[in-house]
Amino acid sequence: MMEGFAKKKRRITLATNCFSLEEVQLLAQTLRVKFKLICHINKHGNGHVIRISSKSLTVIQELLKDKIPSMMLYKIGL
């Protein structure tokens, strides 16, 4: 589901294109409430993606750095 890290904008995009808008909204709301992430839903092709703001980058890096393989850390800007 993770699309990747945009170096210039320092944000992470979750590839949620294959989910319905309602499912994407539920996931984004959960990320906001449970993890206090600043994220936005954007139209992308035929679906929608979740973009996690650069303001939440350090939060998500801290949450995930010990959970994902070291070869995938570039996906969260590490």
Is the predicted pLDDT of residue 2 greater than 50, yes or no? no
* Domain locations along the chain: 2-76
Averaged over 41-62, what is the pLDDT? 91
Relative to beta strand 47-52, strand 11-14 is: antiparallel
Q: What single DSSP character describes residue 62? A: H
Quote the pTM value.
Answer: 0.80
- Cα(34)–Cα(5) distance, integer angstroms: 21
What SS3 class is residue 56? helix
Phi–psi pair at 15, nearest 5 degrees: -80, 90
Q: Exposure string (b/e) for 37-50, b if CB count within 10 Å is 16 or more? A: bebebeeeeeebbb
Domain 2-76 classification at class level: alpha beta
Averaged over 61-70, what is the pLDDT? 89
